Amino acid sequence: MTTPKTLSFVHRFESGTDPAQPPLLLLHGTGGDESDLLPLGRSLAPGASLLSPRGPVLENGMPRFFRRLAEGVFDEADLRRRAGDLADFIAEARAAYGIAAPVALGFSNGANIAAAMLLLRPEALAGAVLLRPMVPLSDVPAADLAGTPVLILSGSADPIVPEENARRLADQLGRAGAEVEHAVLPAGHGLTKDDIVRVEGWLRRRQPGDQNAFL
């Protein structure tokens, strides 16, 4: 493991052993931290570099990536600012660690800020895996996501994210040009074995044999 450098976000970084694989940007859910998704990242993409920041916002002591006004109601001004901050951190980390643009792997709150970054700062990410995301912005920016691969996994019994909301996000990203794969799984808000299998398959189809998969 590489010793983390002092950057704008508290984070963990693990240098990969396979430069053909894109780095993974691991974005935790509410109450997680920079160590939360490292085991999942190692399992899903052995050999890939892992960059895992801690959300800088505290809600009742629990780290998040942006503020919300209530469950499912986002502080969109704060979300826009925090998405910009996170995109700037990615640029810092790329320079500091010598890595390519990462593929985001975000769960819940982490998936939501990844979706916001795709729309607001599309240059920051080479692709994204969004686990239990919802529409982040009511005023959808005009983004150019031509060819950007995105996997969205929703839960049919998710009590937080209505299925219609996730389908609307998939449509927004698709209309911006992203190559979106969206599956609704028989699950709630938590992750299941089916999520892991589908993410593994999606990543495997795009690395390292297809050199243009994340360009």
Where are the domains positioned within the chain? 11-205
How far is residue 50's CA from residue 41's CA, in Å, rounded to a whole number?
Answer: 7
Q: Look at residue 206 in the predicted model and tell me its pLDDT.
A: 76
Is domain 11-205 given the CATH code 3.30.1130.10 in the classification?
A: no
Could you tell me how many residues make up the chain?
A: 215
How far is residue 128's CA from residue 98's CA, in Å, rounded to a whole number?
Answer: 20
Q: Look at residue 207 in the predicted model and tell me its pLDDT.
A: 63
How far is residue 191's CA from residue 132's CA, in Å, rounded to a whole number?
Answer: 9
Q: Look at residue 19 in the predicted model and tell me its pLDDT.
A: 86
Residue 88 bears catalytic tag: no
Q: Look at residue 72 in the predicted model and tell me its pLDDT.
A: 82
Selecting among 28, 108, 154, 195, the annotated active-site residue is 108
How far is residue 3's CA from residue 62's CA, in Å, rounded to a whole number?
Answer: 25
Selecting among 28, 49, 158, 195, the annotated active-site residue is 158
The count of C-alpha atoms lying within 13 angstroms of the C-alpha of 208, restricted to the half-sphere facing its C-beta, is 11
Q: Look at residue 213 in the predicted model and tell me its pLDDT.
A: 60
Q: Look at residue 208 in the predicted model and tell me its pLDDT.
A: 46
Selecting among 189, 194, 195, 210, the annotated active-site residue is 189
Q: What is the largest CA-CA distance in the chain?
A: 45
Q: Look at residue 211 in the predicted model and tell me its pLDDT.
A: 40
Residue 156 bears catalytic tag: no
Query: 140-159, pLDDT tens digit by residue?
Result: 999 999 999 999 999 999 99
Residue 28 bears catalytic tag: no
Positions of the chain with pLDDT lower than 50, given as ranges: 208-212
The sign of the CA dihedral 90, 170, 82, 26 is negative
